[in-house]
């Protein structure tokens, strides 16, 4: 496994792999790799000959009051994990390499798809992600890119960017990896106290409960969702959102229809830690 | 020479050329090719093994009261001209292929560099150009792209986009091709009446006059520029702008300094026809 930090080096490595006719899968990460990331890497290996992982905590996707400074960084462990999974190339740029020091004149604007869910709660979040992923796509030029379903709005927005910007990249979402008690794996779970960690799976249980009710025929889940939010608050969560969204537009949907695809998604706080989770509903 | 209209076809052709190790130069055009375009193609041939030309009148870069409908279209002549110049591949997509029919969620936003010059006069113009050129770059993935110095603000903005978006493309500007009387060649010159065509070179003469004065030491050219604008109006032009701009920021500059690079640029109307021209000043 090779590790490179500069764009010139990563391009040279990619060019060599492409000259050998290798199909390349790309897994962008912010490091602090857990079993969820490793499942993305394993899926990447099924999809291509060589796996390229980026490890970069992108400042552009953090708001001024968010956890950019505290975000867990553990490069040595991450590199070991990548090596153990058979990753070919790890790209570990710094801010200077990704953004340079000159004036920025360009930004990527997103409409509608980022109005609700995490986009609604985190202004500029998805523009920051689109900016860095568009850069990574142009630097690495992968054949396929793997993202986690846990960040479903990110995946749908980036898939739309690939479509509108004509990136020649197959976009693949990997299923959510969970702890035994159902908690969706996340680098931010490291922030949780023992007590918070015990409460945390309650979000997924609430989603599963609502899912069952919808599958049993509740097509206007507003009251149901409101009740689950109350239950979550009673358990010690602070609610951000818990709702059903259109898979296509990322907008909340009041009345569900058979034959459509929805995302049942929630975001909560436990102390200062923000947790998200979702279930895709193919009705 | 091959002509293809779909993204799938153009990608297949490009992949074949790249598999042969060919270096590819790309010349994006809106058709109505004249000697200026041909000079871009000739420069492209010097820079690479194979030249790819796109012919597409991009609706996104025309304002609601601009000449999208009237813009000259002469596909057959253009294809003949490309063939005669040894172009390998011409990409002639339609609007459905470039933009599809679905909702658009993404746009490219530009700050500062598009506030003055043509960006000031034509709101959304450079965002529309950036959008389509970013698409072309991802579709064609050229090694080098050739643009005309006549559209100097376009060139500087797209060069900045290549830098900020990490496109792996060498950006080259070709000198302005001129008629014998000095008029910068433009597809829009076709709109000019005989009488307007006779007056038209006055813009370049005004620029040359100001250039000489600056090179003779006039470092605050405000009065000079104002006088030339009056002269142009007297000759039958309607002024849009005539000014000196920073090459880096595209902002007007009042006091010039030795060791810096400026653009002396003008835009005028003759009847409904908008003409632009410029001179680069390396002081």
Domain-ending residue, one of B174, B206, B240: B174
- Residues from chain B that touch A103, judged by Cβ atoms under 8 A, are 112, 249
Mean pLDDT estimate for chain A: 96
A180 assigned to some structural domain: no
- Annotated ligand binding at B150? The verdict is yes
Cα separation, B137 vs B158, in Å, equals 11
pLDDT in tens, A69-95: 989 899 999 999 999 999 999 999 999
Indicate whether A177 pLDDT > 90: yes
Indicate whether A232 pLDDT > 90: yes
Indicate whether A31 pLDDT > 90: yes
Q: How far is A37 from chain B (nearest CA, A)?
A: 25
Output the pLDDT for position A93: 98
The answer to whether residues A115 and A233 belong to one domain is no
A69 assigned to some structural domain: yes
Q: How far is B95 from chain A (nearest CA, A)?
A: 13
A71 assigned to some structural domain: yes
Domain-ending residue, one of A117, A145, A174: A174
Task: Find the helix or strand (DSSP H, E) in which B24 lies.
Answer: strand B24-29
* Spatial contact of B125 and B252, defined as CB atoms under 8 Å apart: no
The C-alpha angle with vertex B133 and arms to B129 and B137, in degrees rounded to 5, equals: 170
Q: Which of A184, A277, A195, A281 lies closest to A239 in space, CA to CA?
A: A277
B226 assigned to some structural domain: yes
Q: Do A168 and B110 touch (CB under 8 A)?
A: no
Q: Do A165 and B139 touch (CB under 8 A)?
A: no
Mean pLDDT estimate for chain B: 96
Output the pLDDT for position B101: 87
Output the pLDDT for position A65: 86
B137 assigned to some structural domain: yes
Q: Which of A241, A224, A242, A235 lies closest to A270 in space, CA to CA?
A: A235
- Band (pLDDT 50/70/90 cuts) for residue A44 is very high
CATH number where A234 lies: 3.30.1300.10
A106 assigned to some structural domain: yes
Q: In what order do the strands lie in the sheet with A50-55?
A: A2-4, A89-91, A50-55, A24-29, A144-148, A170-174
Contacts of residue B130, defined as CB under 8 A and 6 or more positions apart, other chains included, come to: A106, B108, B110, B157, B158, B161
Q: How far is B23 from chain A (nearest CA, A)?
A: 14
B182 assigned to some structural domain: no
> Helical H runs in chain A?
7-19, 35-47, 75-84, 95-99, 117-121, 125-140, 152-165, 194-199, 202-215, 222-235
Output the pLDDT for position A271: 94
Rounded mean pLDDT of A214-243? 96
Cα separation, B109 vs A258, in Å, equals 38
Q: Quick one: closest CA in B to A126, which residue?
A: B106
- Annotated ligand binding at B267? The verdict is no
- Residues from chain A that touch B167, judged by Cβ atoms under 8 A, are 138
The answer to whether residues B227 and B272 belong to one domain is yes
The count of residues in chain A is: 283
Phi-psi region of A236 (alpha: psi -120 to 50; beta: other; left: phi over 0): left
* Spatial contact of B202 and B237, defined as CB atoms under 8 Å apart: yes
The answer to whether residues A135 and A11 belong to one domain is yes
Q: Do B166 and A108 touch (CB under 8 A)?
A: no
Q: Do B157 and A105 touch (CB under 8 A)?
A: yes
A283 assigned to some structural domain: no
* Spatial contact of A18 and A142, defined as CB atoms under 8 Å apart: no
Domain housing A212: 187-278
Q: Quick one: closest CA in B to A101, which residue?
A: B164
Cα separation, A4 vs A92, in Å, equals 6
Q: Which of B105, B227, B129 lies closest to A159 in space, CA to CA?
A: B105
The answer to whether residues B44 and B105 belong to one domain is yes
The count of residues in chain B is: 283
* Spatial contact of A95 and A59, defined as CB atoms under 8 Å apart: yes
Residue B165 contacts A, CB cutoff 8 Å: yes
The answer to whether residues B24 and B62 belong to one domain is yes
Q: Do B110 and A105 touch (CB under 8 A)?
A: yes
Higher-pLDDT residue of A167, B102: A167
Q: Quick one: closest CA in A to B157, which residue?
A: A105
pLDDT in tens, A115-126: 999 999 899 999
The answer to whether residues B98 and B12 belong to one domain is yes
The answer to whether residues A191 and A143 belong to one domain is no
pLDDT in tens, B252-272: 999 999 999 999 999 999 999
Cα separation, B149 vs B173, in Å, equals 5
Indicate whether A175 pLDDT > 90: yes
- Please report, in angstroms and rounded to a whole number, the separation of the first and last CA atoms in chain B: 43
Rounded mean pLDDT of A153-158? 97
Cα separation, A199 vs A176, in Å, equals 19
CATH number where A126 lies: 3.40.50.620
Output the pLDDT for position B5: 98
Candidates A6, A96, A105, A130, partner chain B, best to mutate (most B CBs within 10 A): A105
Output the pLDDT for position A279: 98
The C-alpha angle with vertex A62 and arms to B113 and A123, in degrees rounded to 5, equals: 70
Domain-ending residue, one of B117, B152, B174: B174
Indicate whether A101 pLDDT > 90: no
A37 annotated active-site: yes
Q: Which residue has the tokens 């009740």?
A: A227
Domains: count for chain A: 2
- A138 closest CB neighbour out of B109, B166, B249: B166
pLDDT in tens, B114-124: 999 999 989 99
- Band (pLDDT 50/70/90 cuts) for residue A239 is very high
The answer to whether residues A221 and A110 belong to one domain is no
The answer to whether residues A226 and A191 belong to one domain is yes
The answer to whether residues B23 and B121 belong to one domain is yes
pLDDT < 50 positions in chain B:
none
pLDDT in tens, B225-237: 999 999 999 999 9
The answer to whether residues A23 and A66 belong to one domain is yes
| Cα torsion angle, A244, A246, A249, A254, sign | negative
The answer to whether residues B23 and B125 belong to one domain is yes
Output the pLDDT for position A127: 97
Cα separation, B135 vs B60, in Å, equals 12
Q: Quick one: closest CA in A to B165, which residue?
A: A135
């Amino acid at each position: 496994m090779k590790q490179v930090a500069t764009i010139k080096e990563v391009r040279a490595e990619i060019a060599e792999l492409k000259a050998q006719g290798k199909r390349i899968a790309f897994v962008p990460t912010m490091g602090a790799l857990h079993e969820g990331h490793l499942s993305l890497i394993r899926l990447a290996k099924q999809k291509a000959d060589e796996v390229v992982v980026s490890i970069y905590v992108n400042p552009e996707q953090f708001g001024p009051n968010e956890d950019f400074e505290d975000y867990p960084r553990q490069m040595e462990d991450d590199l070991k994990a990548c090596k153990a999974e058979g990753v070919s190339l790890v790209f570990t740029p710094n801010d200077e390499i990704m953004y340079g020091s000159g004036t920025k004149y360009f930004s990527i604007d997103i409409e509608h798809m980022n109005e609700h869910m995490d986009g609604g709660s985190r202004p500029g979040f998805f523009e920051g992600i689109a900016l860095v992923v568009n850069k990574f796509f142009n630097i690495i030029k992968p054949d396929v890119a793997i993202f986690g379903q846990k960040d479903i709005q990110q995946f749908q927005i980036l898939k739309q960017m690939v479509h509108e910007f004509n990136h020649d990249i197959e976009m693949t979402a990997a299923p959510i990896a969970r702890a035994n008690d159902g908690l969706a794996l996340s680098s931010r779970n490291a922030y949780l106290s023992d007590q918070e960690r015990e409460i945390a799976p309650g979000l997924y249980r609430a989603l599963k409960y609502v899912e069952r009710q919808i599958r049993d025929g509740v097509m206007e889940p507003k009251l149901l969702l409101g009740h689950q939010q109350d239950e979550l608050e009673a358990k010690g969560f602070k609610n951000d959102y818990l709702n059903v969204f259109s898979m296509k537009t990322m907008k909340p949907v009041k009345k569900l229809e058979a034959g459509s695809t929805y995302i049942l998604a929630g975001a909560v706080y436990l102390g200062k830690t923000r947790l998200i989770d979702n279930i895709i509903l193919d009705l």
